[in-house]
Chains A and B, each alone.
Chain A
C-alpha cells in the first residue's frame, strides 16, 4: 500500500513533466518572452516564471496521461482478448517505460534555472491561511483514508475489479452475478478504462482492490483537486498569495460542507473519489476551465479525451467539451464588449483603433495558446498607471507598439523595485 501511494505521488509528476515538455517545450519558451501591449492593457501582464507550467500542472497532466495509458492498454486487451494478467503486465511495462522516458527527457532537456528571488517576506496572515488550508486538507485526507465504508449506490467498480481478477478476462463475465454475459455489454461501457486501471494497480502492487478504490485513488484525487484549484487561484489572483490562500480555504470549506447531493463536488471528493464522475467534477472540469483561461488548448484536449475514457457519457460528447465551448463563447462575447467599454480618455480615433486591434490580438493570441493571466486586484491599480502612462505618450506624438511595450516593462519593473524597497 505504501509503495502504491508513493508511486501515485511520484509517477504522475514525472509523466506529466515529460508530457508537458513534449507538448509545450518550445512554445513555452517563446510565450514567456512575449509580453505584448494588448495583454498588458488587459491586465494580464506578468512575470516570466508565472507563465511556466508548475508542479501542479505536471501532476494533473500526469494523471491524464496515466488515464490515457490505462485506456490504451485496456483497449488493446479488450479487442485482442488478452487475459487480465497480460493486461496488468502491459500496463506496468508501459507506465514504467514512459516514466523512464520522461525522466530521460527531463534530464536531457534540463535547462538551468536561475534562482528565483523571493518577491517579499511571507506575512503572518499568509502563513496562517496556508496553515489552516493545509490542516483542513490533511483532515480530509485522514477522513478519506480512515473512513470504513464507501458509498456504492449506482456503482459496481469493486465487483468489476474482482471479476477481472477472478476470471482473468475483461468484460466477459457479468460483475454483478458472476455468470457469463448472455446479451453482452454496451460498447461505450467496455471502453471505460478505470476498472481495468484500478485492477491493474491492485494486481501490480498486491493491494486489495477495496483499498485501492477507497483509500489510494481518492487520496490522489484529493491532492490533484487542490492542485487544480491552487492553479485556478493562481490564474485568478496572480501573485496575491493572501487572496489565493483565502480562495483555497473557501474551496476546502465548500467541499466539506457541500456533500449533500451526488452531483456535488464535495460528495465526489469525500465519498466517491475513485469514480469517473468525481474525477471529472473535481479535476477535469476545473482544470479545463483553468487551461481555457490560460489558453493551453492542448491540455484542454487532454481533459476532453480523459473524460471520454473514464465517464460513461453514453454516446454523448462529455462535459469537458461543453465547458470548453461555453468558455469559448464567453471569451468571444466578452472579448468584444470589453474593448468597447474601455474608459481611456485619449484621442478617440487612436483609441478605437487600438481597441479593435487589441481585441483582434487577444482572439488571435488565444488561439495560438499564448498564456495570459490576470493580475491581482492590487495590480489593477498599476495597470491603470500603465494605461495612463501610455495614453500620455499617445497624446504627445505618434508612438510605435514597441515603444509602448518598453514603457510598460519599465513601469512594471519600477513598481517591482518600489515593492522590493518597501
Chain B
C-alpha cells in the first residue's frame, strides 16, 4: 500500500517531466468551467464532458483515489497509465477551440471588427507555440533507423546460419542484438533465452522462468558484448569451458561471439569446445561475429 502511495505521489512528477500537456489540460478545464459559469450555460454535452474531465483528473491526481484506481488496474501498470482515463486530448482541443473563438469574438466586439484578422492570426500562432512548448520538449526520438538496420543484419546472419532456410530448426546463443531480433525475423529459430531476460516487463507474459545456469550464460555474453580491452585475462579456461558445456547442455546449436570479445576469448572458446566435443575447429566469421557450431552430428 505504501509503495502504491509512493508511486501515486512520484508518478505525477514522471508524467509532468517530459511534457506539459497536463498543464494545458488543467488550464483548459479551468477555462471551460469559467466560460460555463460566465455564460450560465444550461445542461448540455459540454457540461458533461467538462464534468467527466474534472472527475477523472481529480481521481487521478489525489493520491488516495489514485491508489484505488491503481488497484482497479490490478497494480501492474505504473501511475502514468492512469492518465489514460483522463480525456487530455479532447479537453485541450475543446478548450482551445472555445478559448480561440471566445477571445476572437470579444476582440471583435470591443474593437468593432478592426484588426480582427490580425488578432486571429496572432492568437493562432501563440496557441500553436504554446502547444509545441508543452509537447515533446526534448524532442525524444523513439524510432530511428537503428532497429531496421539491426534487424536486417540479424536476418542476414540467420540466412547464413540456416543456409537460406534449408535448415531452419536451429538454436542460438549469442550477443543481445542477435537474441533480440532473431525471433522477429524468423519464427522458426530457437534461442537459449529471449528479450524477457533483460526487459523485465515482458517476463509478465508467461509463467516460465530461466534457470540460474541460463542467467549465468546471459551475464557472460553481456560482459563479452560490452567489453572494452583484453578479456582473455578475465576468464580462466575452465570457466569458459563451463559456459560452453552449459550452452551445449541446454541445446544451443551455435555460439555466436561478438567482435568485442576479441581473439583471446575466441581462442579460449575454441579450446573449450575441443575439450568438450573432441574436435578442434577455428571460429567461422560473419559480419563481425565469431560463430562456433556446438553440436556434433
Contacts and interface: CB of A to CB of B under 8 A. Distances in A.
A281 to B, nearest CB: 6
A327 B202 contact: no
A254 B145 CA distance: 24
Interface of A: 41-44, 147-154, 156, 158-159, 161-167, 174-179, 181-186, 189, 210, 229, 232, 235-237, 243, 246-248, 250-251, 253-267, 271, 277, 280-281, 285-286, 289, 292-293, 313-317, 319, 322-323, 326-327, 329-331, 333-335, 338-339, 341-343, 359, 362, 372-375, 377, 380
B96 A314 contact: no
A236 B207 contact: no
A237 B98 CA distance: 10
A151 B192 CA distance: 24
B208 A289 contact: no
A247 B132 contact: no
Interface in B4-60: 15, 18-19, 21, 39-52, 54-56, 59
B100 interface: yes
B142 A176 contact: no
B14 to A, nearest CB: 8
A-B interface, 7 closest residue pairs, ranked by CB to CB distance from nearest: A176-B194, A257-B135, A166-B187, A162-B187, A330-B51, A338-B43, A183-B207
A150 B143 contact: yes
B81 A263 contact: yes
A177 B43 CA distance: 57
Contact of A261 (B19, B171, B202): B19
A263 B45 contact: no
A314 B89 contact: no
B43 A42 contact: yes
Given A176-B202, A323-B85, A334 B19 contact: no
16 contacts: A42-B43, A42-B44, A156-B205, A159-B183, A162-B183, A176-B195, A181-B207, A183-B208, A186-B205, A235-B45, A251-B90, A261-B18, A271-B142, A285-B87, A327-B52, A329-B52
Contact of B206 (A43, A185, A323): A185
Contacts, number: 265
B85 A373 contact: no
Interface string B235-263: 00000000000000000000000000000
A189 B205 CA distance: 7
A315 B201 CA distance: 17
A185 to B, nearest CB: 5
Given A248-B93, A266-B135, 10 more contacts: A43-B43, A175-B194, A178-B189, A229-B90, A229-B93, A250-B131, A313-B74, A330-B51, A338-B47, A373-B45
B184 to A, nearest CB: 5
A299 to B, nearest CB: 16
Nearest to A372: B45
B140 interface: yes
Contact of A333 (B51, B92, B209): B51
A281 B84 CA distance: 7
A142 to B, nearest CB: 15
Interface in B73-120: 73-74, 76, 80-81, 83-85, 87-90, 92-94, 96-98, 100-101
B147 A236 contact: no
B136 interface: yes
A246 B127 CA distance: 12
B221 interface: no
A316 B72 contact: yes
Contacts of A175: 183, 194
B43 to A, nearest CB: 3
Contacts of B131: 250, 253-254, 257
A271 B140 CA distance: 12
Contacts of A148: 143, 145, 147-148
Given A293-B49, A314-B76, A331-B48, A260 B136 contact: yes
Interface string B183-205: 11111111111111001011001
Contact of B84 (A150, A178, A263): A263
B142 A267 contact: yes
A197 B46 CA distance: 37
Contacts of B72: 316-317, 322
B144 interface: yes
A177 B217 CA distance: 15
A176 B187 contact: no
Contact of A176 (B45, B186, B196, B207): B196
Nearest to A240: B101
A42 B96 contact: no
A125 to B, nearest CB: 9
Contact of B74 (A43, A151, A315): A315
Given A261-B15, A293-B49, A362 B84 contact: no
A264 B22 CA distance: 11
Given A175-B183, A330-B51, A251 B76 contact: no
Contact of A258 (B21, B40, B147, B208): B21
